[in-house]
Amino acid sequence: MTIAIDTRDVCCAALELSKTSWVCAFAGPGDSKATVHKIKTGDVDRLIGILSNGKAKAERELGRPLQIVLCYEVGYDGFWLARLLIARGIRAVVFDPASFLMPRRGRRAKTDRLDAEGMTRTLRTWLSGDRGVAREVHIPTVEQEDAKRIERERKYLVEERASIVGRIKGLLALHGIWLTGKRISKGVRERLESMKTGDGRPLAPFLRRDIDRMLTRYEMVSRQIAEVEADRKEALNDNTGHFPNAEKVQRLSKLAAVGETTATVLVAEVYHRTFETRRHVASFIGLSPSPYNSGDVDRDQGISKAGNKLARQTLVELAWFWLRYQPDSKLSLWWRERFGSKGMRGRKVGIVALARKLAIALWRFVEDGIVPEGATLKG
């Protein structure tokens, strides 16, 4: 819901962040031009001093108390600065940089100074009630942000392990040796000495050492994956609240087809938030449709893909598992009736539509306990 405030009592500040310096623009009520200051990266005391001095000067000129609202774009620096400013009594607004309205005529001059000055004007317009000029990013708590690390780290490690497996298999295949399966068995290292190439030669010494070192990395990454999974299980069973909404993970895991990994990803990335309607859920994940209707042209551009990428990938994967382990549910029957005979391309299009419906159904199940129609629970 859009809540406008009286910006005549607001000093708008914007911060352009980089690794080498911060550029702060400050504009009091009625100021036609913002004052710009360049400070050292991470110098929060200097930043607060600039904001306090600018506010005091504006209050002396106007003769009434004012408040400060500061904004910056989310990116490399994350949310720590917003939390710190809020703790110091300064309202902080974090914007999505991809949501700013930009002119499209010709080339646009871009400098940190111009960007900071422009953000003060955007912030004032946004505070006045026009939420179309930019989109605010929800500032998560430390616990909510940290809870995402479990599955994000696991995903990174799994991808690294798959890369190592692919390289080992590729090197061996170059010499006529083929390994089967998605993993590397424990006996591969012992067989290196006795392996014969396709033309009957033993492995060359440098090749053998290269593969041996990759096997060492493979074993290390596999141990780290096991450690991450153990950390996840401990966090979900911990009642101290280090993993927020752990009860939602446990509830979601009760559905057949939904494993603990999938449930943890969806809760940490999506379902820890509060959504007003089902459309907000689909839009946040990037599964909402994006039509193109202009003049005589009316077509569907597919999903927006503007939301949480990891959650979207997880839901698409879950949709295939849903068809397998929940075959009698209403969602599975709907998919088979509409897309089951459409060929491979049609089925892939339909699985994205199923993922969107599934995201909404799981949201209702997590929040209100409404079991998807026809779905079964484990055990």
For 7-62, how does the pLDDT look when each residue is reduced to its tens digit (9 = 90+)? 889 999 999 999 999 999 999 998 888 999 999 999 999 999 999 999 999 999 99
What is the Cα–Cα distance from 325 to 99, expressed in whole angstroms?
A: 39
pLDDT at 80: 94
- Domain ranges across the chain: 7-127, 142-236, 246-368
Q: What pTM, to 2 d.p., does this model score?
A: 0.84
Identify the band that residue 105 occupies on the pLDDT scale cut at 50, 70 and 90: confident
- Say whether 128 sits in a helix, a strand or coil: coil
Asked if residue 264 has pLDDT above 90, the reply is yes
For 174-201, how does the pLDDT look when each residue is reduced to its tens digit (9 = 90+)? 999 998 888 888 888 888 888 999 999 9
Displacement of CA 245 from its chain's centroid (Å): 18
Asked if residue 374 has pLDDT above 50, the reply is yes
- 68-79: average pLDDT: 92
What does the DSSP 8-state code read for residue 140?
Answer: -
Asked if residue 2 has pLDDT above 80, the reply is no
- Percent of the chain with pLDDT strictly greater than 90: 73
For 296-312, how does the pLDDT look when each residue is reduced to its tens digit (9 = 90+)? 777 877 788 788 899 99
- Beta strand pairing call for 67-73 and 10-17: parallel
pLDDT at 1: 45
Supply 88's token pair: 């110091």
Asked if residue 171 has pLDDT above 70, the reply is yes
- Say whether 302 sits in a helix, a strand or coil: strand
pLDDT at 3: 64
CATH fold of 7-127:
Nucleotidyltransferase; domain 5 (3.30.420)
Per the CB < 8 A criterion, the answer to whether 51 and 70 are in contact is: yes
For 335-371, how does the pLDDT look when each residue is reduced to its tens digit (9 = 90+)? 999 998 888 999 998 999 999 999 999 999 999 999 9
Per the CB < 8 A criterion, the answer to whether 112 and 23 are in contact is: yes
What is the Cα–Cα distance from 11 to 305, expressed in whole angstroms?
A: 35
Identify the band that residue 294 occupies on the pLDDT scale cut at 50, 70 and 90: confident
pLDDT at 300: 77
